[in-house]
Chain A
Amino acid sequence: MKRGQLAEAIGFIFLKLCVGAVLLALVIILYDIVSKGIGSINWEFLTTMPKNGMTEGGILPAIIGTFLVTIITAILAVPLGMGCAIYLNEYAKDNLLNRIIRMSIRNLSGVPSIVYGLFGVILFVQLMRFGTCVLSAGLTLGLMTLPWTITASEEALKNVPKSYREGALALGATKWQSIRTNVLPYAVPGMLTGTILGLSRAAGETAPILFTGVAFFLPFLPKSLFSQFMALPYHLYIMSTQHHAISKVRPLAYGTALVLIALIFVMNLFAVVLRYNLRKVKTE
């Protein structure tokens, strides 16, 4: 008995150490970036072009580029992801084809991001002749985001009680009427939340855009969907490994990392607040 308790005490200490290590990793990451990045952040850094071979100036084109490419990602991934989730949760029967669809989704979410990049090069840059541009990069990221948005949207649909659907059908609603009027209104907040979380991950991705449109340095903003662009994650990569004066631009790299993390954090926060607010409206 005594020995059992001793083992338990030691065991729990081990578990606490694990938790502590995970927390420590997170704290170190955030502390390092925030403390060393905050000094670079000012109005000029956020709103001007890079200058003098990117050793001075701001990161405006990278912010705008990431913003634009994420919009394209959303345009592809949000409707298709929601549609696929609606099909799977509302229409699909448990048959071989639909099991294959589910398996495909799980596999797509495991496909390495660089492989999506290769796929984007072949399909969008070459076959569709979009060239390396905002559009190609956004569509590539969109395909990568698709399995996440499907999974998140289906989760939200599953949370709508079955009785809402049955109740509507029993009143003579058609299937689509019951979905549109009595399922989607209650699922959309959750769908959007999950989708925005997926988009925030896409915004931080680098590998899929490497060869589909991102540029090393552009002293101007993208003019159309068919222009190349700068992006925050790629800019951080350049500033930390490819720049000719790496140690000189380190503060700028930290600043870029902080802006990127802050952007993702704000998107996540937005998603959570959205869920909270829409939920409040619903129960009122």
Chain B
Amino acid sequence: MDNCKITVHNFNFYYGGVKVLKNISMEIPENRVTGIIGPSGCGKSTFLRSINRMNDTILGARAEGRIVIDGRNIYDDDIDVVGVRRKVGMVFQKSNPFPKSIFENVAYGLRINGEKDRYRIEEAVEKSLKDAALWDEVKDRLNKNAFELSGGQQQRLCIARALAVEPEILLMDEPASALDPTATLKIEELIQELKKKYTIVIVTHNMQQAARISDFTAFFMLGELIEYNITSIIFTKPSRKITEDYITGRFG
């Protein structure tokens, strides 16, 4: 297996009193795309949001166990949560550009991290937009409001915004679920490009998409990790019957 970036040890998660993630343990490799599939409500989004502690913002949520990134448990009491989120970027299911200009959207993460140098910000914005394959489409209208972009462009803008703070890991929560096929294809191509530099964990509802873009695939059901392996094995020779049933479309 490749170099391991994220290690999850016996991780449990509760909303109120309800256990929504049950004893998850897995290793997520560096510079690879790891896909997470499973029926709705299986806990895949919750799991993803546990990796950058976004679940902290939900009232009544509680985590147990460890998620170790680069040798550091991000659930330690003395961890700097803000630092974790800088290192672990996130792209949401519904693109969520801020009501600012395209430029300011990408610059936002730099500014809150204290970057004041105009030149360096411009440079980083350009680089991030290029990395997100959006630069050519927006370079002439950087001062336009981000809401003027199409849905697919907005989502790539959100990717660019996440890239600008130079994270090491990129979490994507069904990033293409609201997009048309052409825009989806663009995002998928982009993900293949991004994995050279980033470790990517992507939640998807679409099994063909998981088969196309991820190197490893984890199948979640009812809060449990049922099976986790190289994508081709999961999709051709799954070891559990239930995985096969899901993949062949008997339920879900």
CB of B162 within 8 Å of the partner chain = yes
Question: Is the CB of A118 closer than 8 A to any CB of chain B?
Answer: no
Looking at B21-29, B93-101, B130-138, B201-209, the stretch in contact with chain A turns out to be B93-101
Q: How close is B197's CB to chain A, nearest CB, in angstroms?
A: 18
A270–B82 Cα distance when bound, in Å, is 40
A177 lies within 8 A of chain B by Cβ: yes
**B positions within 8 Å CB-CB of A:** 52, 54, 57, 59-60, 82-83, 85-86, 89-90, 92, 94, 96, 98-99, 108-109, 111-113, 145, 147, 158, 161-162, 165
Q: Evaluate whether A172 and B92 lie within 8 angstroms (CB atoms) in the complex, with A181-B112, A186-B99, A283-B99 already known.
A: no
Selected from A164, A170, A182, A282, the residue in CB contact (under 8 A) with B89 is A170
Given contacts A164-B96, A172-B109, contact A284 B145 (CB under 8 A): yes
Distance between Cα atoms of A163 and B91 in the complex (Å): 11
Q: Is the interface of A mostly helix, strand, loop or mixed?
A: helix
Q: Is the CB of A177 within 8 A of B112?
A: yes
Q: Taking A93-B59, A182-B98 as contacts, is the C-beta distance between A168 and B92 under 8 angstroms? A: no
Chain A residue nearest to B60 (CB atoms) is A94
Say yes or no: A172 contacts B96, CB within 8 Å: no
Give 23 pairs: A residue, B residue, CB < 8 Å, sorted on A: A94-B60, A163-B92, A166-B57, A166-B96, A167-B98, A167-B161, A168-B98, A168-B108, A168-B112, A169-B57, A170-B52, A170-B89, A170-B90, A171-B89, A171-B112, A171-B161, A171-B165, A172-B85, A172-B86, A174-B112, A186-B99, A283-B145, A284-B145
A181–B108 contact, CB under 8 A? yes
| Closest residue on chain B to residue A180 by CB atoms | B112
A169 touches B54 (CB 8 A): yes
Considering only residues 154-182 of chain A, those with a C-beta below 8 Å from chain B are: 161, 163-174, 177, 181-182
Instruction: Report the minimal beta-carbon distance from A56 to chain B, rounded to whole angstroms.
Output: 56
CB <8 Å contact, A172 and B59: no
| Chain B hits for A164, CB < 8 A | 96, 98-99
A171 CB to nearest chain B CB (Å): 4
Contact B112 A167 (CB under 8 A): no
Q: Which residue of B lies closest to A92 (CB)?
A: B59
**B158–chain A nearest beta-carbon distance, Å:** 7
**Distance from A81 Cβ to chain B, minimum over Cβ atoms (Å):** 24
